[in-house]
């Protein structure tokens, strides 16, 4: 008879971190928008918007530091780190998502394209934090200000990168929601079920067993 395997995909740290990060990004983006468009009143006053931004920029920073720690301390780099093997599938994945090929490359936990994108997102987050702290401490971090040619260009780059985060979020949302919904649910519950690879074609199980990924 058919057997379902429970595939554990995201541990509690990963899930909690992801959803805190999402909430924090929404607050950072909205407060940033109000700082940019002073007439856009989202948080009641400019002081409130700046307070929200200043609190959440530290949350953003600590989520990033914690993520690096977690990546190495929990062995996440073994399943989600770049390797020549998983990076090879990046080109074929791009072709698949651009509808240029019907072949979706097999991947481990994440495809090469996901790994490259998440790494790029991390790099952009570091740049965003450096620029943001440059705006916050323009004297102490005067080298950041001069590297970008002054405070105004620094603000402009920070603003443009805010939209890069929004583009990432839009594409990310599109890609996760066009996959089977069980993968999105797994970001909330931690796991999903799949039919055991034992050649069976039955739809539902009469017994369930847990399998580590
Ligand atoms: C550690 C990360 C960050 C730091 C340290 C930081 C810091 C700052 C600071 C100091 C300002 C200027 C506030 C003022 O003039 O009153 C600012 C503005 C802004 N921030 Fe951030 N920020 C960070 C992350 C983000 C993120 C992730 C986003 C959006 C996704 C964002 C969007 C904005 C926007 C849109 C502005 C307005 C820029 C403008 O004036 O045109 N920030 N940020
Ligand atoms: C808008 C709502 C969002 C939804 C529904 C969502 C959903 C998901 C899902 C389902 C995954 C797992 C993908 C997989 O297992 O293949 C994931 C992973 C990820 N998402 Fe999101 N996401 C959202 C927003 C964001 C935002 C705003 C960011 C950052 C700017 C983000 C960054 C990431 C990262 C870095 C991963 C990899 C997770 C890890 O290994 O720690 N997501 N997301």
Q: Where are the domains of the chain?
A: 3-198
> Is 183 near ligand 2, meaning CB less than 6 Å away?
yes
What is the C-alpha to C-alpha distance for residues 14 and 190, in angstroms, rounded to an integer?
9
- Signed CA dihedral, 66, 70, 72, 73: sign only: positive
φ and ψ at 193, to 5 degrees? -105, 140
State which residues of the chain have pLDDT below 70: 1-2, 197-213
pLDDT at 5: 86
> Is 25 near ligand 2, meaning CB less than 6 Å away?
yes
pLDDT at 197: 62
pLDDT at 49: 98
Q: Which ligand is nearest to the CA of 21?
A: 2
Q: In the CATH scheme, what is the code of domain 3-198?
A: 1.20.950.20
Judge contact between 152 and 112, C-beta under 8 A: no
pLDDT single digits (tens) 88-147: 889 999 999 999 999 888 878 899 999 999 999 999 999 999 999 999 999 999 999 999
| pTM for the structure as a whole | 0.89
């Amino acid at each position: 008879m058919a057997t379902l395997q429970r595939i554990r995909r995201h541990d509690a740290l990963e899930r909690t971190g992801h959803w805190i990060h999402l909430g924090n990004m929404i607050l950072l983006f909205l407060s940033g928008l109000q700082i940019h468009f002073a007439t856009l009143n989202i948080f009641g006053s400019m002081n409130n918007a700046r307070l929200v931004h200043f609190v959440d920029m530290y949350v953003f920073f600590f989520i990033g530091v914690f993520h690096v720690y977690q990546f190495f301390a929990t062995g996440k780099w073994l399943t989600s780190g770049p390797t020549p093997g998983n990076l090879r599938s990046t080109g074929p994945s791009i072709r698949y998502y651009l509808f240029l090929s019907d072949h979706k490359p097999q991947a481990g936990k994440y495809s090469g394209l996901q790994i490259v994108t998440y790494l790029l997102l991390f790099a952009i987050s570091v740049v965003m934090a450096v620029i943001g702290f440059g705006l916050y401490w323009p004297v102490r971090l005067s080298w950041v200000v001069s590297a970008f040619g002054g405070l105004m260009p620094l603000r402009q780059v920070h603003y443009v990168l805010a939209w890069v985060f929004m583009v990432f979020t839009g594409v990310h949302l599109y890609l996760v929601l066009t996959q089977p919904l069980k993968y999105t649910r797994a970001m909330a519950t931690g796991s999903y079920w799949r039919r055991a690879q034992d050649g069976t074609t039955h739809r539902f199980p009469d017994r369930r067993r847990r399998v580590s990924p």
